[in-house]
Amino acid sequence: MKKILVLCTGNSCRSQIAEGYLRHFAEDKAEVYSAGVETHGVNPRAVKTMQEDDIDISKHTSNNMDEYRDIDFDFVITVCDNAKERCPFFPSKAQKFHHNFPDPAKATGSEEEIMAQFRNVRNEIKEYCRNFVSTNL
């Protein structure tokens, strides 16, 4: 079984959404983890936008990348430029992938406008994860 780590800055939105979709699409072909270079807690809007797509990430936790140093990952996916720049050296055979998704936590405007930005990012991440699984697992 493949091991996948998704890294982001705060492990609150993008990496949490990616973890949810990678688990969904990979089913039993991979163990999926997510972490941040910092921990900001799981964003309630990320939970809500994923519930709209019938994926429950409400039990996810916000983890620091240091918690996973001893796991031999097959893939490390960074989902923001900050995490890519600060990504630690993992002494493993992990293939590294990168895609800089916009940060929905920085969205401004009305609640409806903010949620629209969360949905847009969620949809981008969903397609990325679907393609990643079909190509790599």
Q: How far apart are CA 60 and CA 89, in angstroms?
A: 25
Q: How far apart are CA 93 and CA 25, in angstroms?
A: 23
Residues designated as active site? 8, 80, 87
Closest CA to 84 of 99, 74, 71: 99
Q: Pairing state of beta strands 75-78 and 30-36?
A: unpaired
Find all residues with CB under 8 Å of 35, minimum gap 6, and list them. 5, 6, 7, 8, 11, 15, 63, 64, 65, 67, 68
CA dihedral 98, 104, 105, 111 (to 10 degrees): -170
